[in-house]
Amino acid sequence: MAYLDHAATTPMLAEALDAYVDTARKVGNPSSLHAAGRDARRLVEESRERIAAVLGARPSEVIFTSGGTESDNLAVKGIFWARERPRLIASAVEHHAVMDSVAWLAAHQRATVHWLGVDHRGRVDPDALAEIVDEHGDEIAMISVQWANNEVGTLQPVPELSALAARAGIPLHTDAVQAAGAVPVDFAASGAAALTISGHKLGGPVGVGALLLGRDVPCTPVLHGGGQERDVRSGTLDAPGMVAFAVAVEVAVKNQQESATRLAVLRDDLIARVLDAVPGAVLNGDPADRLPGNAHFSFPGCEGDALLMLLDAQDVACSTGSACSAGVAEPSHVLLAMGADDDNARSSLRFTLGHDSTDTDVEALLAALPGAVERARRAAAWKTPR
């Protein structure tokens, strides 16, 4: 299979898998006081220190969670509740873990939401954020702008946005799930108050992630129980998952520059060949300032889901840019925010490369894609009322 969906999940790195298996053979709850528990706690704390060291954070700022969705919910809801101010700002192209958290606060906590628009590349305008902050600064609880878009791969100017927010005394959270390990990410240098990362996006296990949370940033817990993780996130600590997660973060960050260079070459070849082979194909996102492994296209005249299944039948795995609800495809909210119409927003596919991607994957895609697009366009035209 040509696996071109690394943004959804990427295979575990060999080093992380070995670390997981080795740790999973040991017994001990990190909250227990006996020797086995203390040994497990030591592994957790060493993992916390290793993650902090390579991501520009202090160990005390690493809050372990079950992954990106929980970290985003904790940051958005927790900071909003703790600050007790009525307004929120989030970009219009956030991952649903942020968007739906913000929408829930609007519906159930009477939050006033400012959705920050983007340009045709999917990029936030710092001046637009400054206008909202200047007008409503004292009422804004928090701001959330992702580091890299999960669909089109566009990178946001996080340090600039964080500095703007900090001048007004407003904490900024950034979802860096797609960015960590793919581009340089430094928590302290970014100026962000909170930052989300997830294990399975960078070669670690599913079910573990972290929220990097500044020590002086108030955050009300979403989960209550044993008071683990600074009393911000209760729950039994997954020592094997955390050890493997730390190893994956270390390896991904260590290899980041070399990997990014290799993947950008492979990505650019994929983009050029798709645009040459498929008439009318449109590259979405910033053509230059984007994730090194991301290539996102609209194929006008196609239904994205149909095209995905046609490629899947030829052992090419990719993703649509849309969400499904009750079996009904919805247009990508990211592309709509970027100015695309409904048809183009429904016709998108995301091809994402990762640490085990090769030229063979691109060759397999190009062998299957032109014929699949032709069939998908014929099917869409047949379904269109005349």
Instruction: Indicate if 324 belongs to the active site.
Output: yes
CB 140 within 8 A of CB 170: yes
CB 70 within 8 A of CB 56: no
Three-state DSSP at 72 gives helix
Q: Which helix (H) or strand (E) holds 295?
A: strand 294-298
Three-state DSSP at 333 gives helix
Distance of CA 160 to the CA centre of its chain: 20
Alpha carbons 292 and 352: distance in angstroms, whole number: 9
* Number of C-beta neighbours around residue 57 at 10 A: 20
* Number of C-beta neighbours around residue 58 at 10 A: 15
Q: Which helix (H) or strand (E) holds 194?
A: strand 194-198
Spell out the residues 6+ positions from residue 326 whose beta carbon is closer than 8 angstroms to its own.
none
DSSP secondary structure letters along 141-175: EEEE--SB-TTT-BBP-HHHHHHHHHHTT--EEEE
Give the bridge partners for 316, in sequence order: 2
Alpha carbons 224 and 94: distance in angstroms, whole number: 27
**Active-site option among 219, 302, 318, 324:** 324
Give the bridge partners for 353, in sequence order: none
Q: Which residues are catalytic?
A: 324
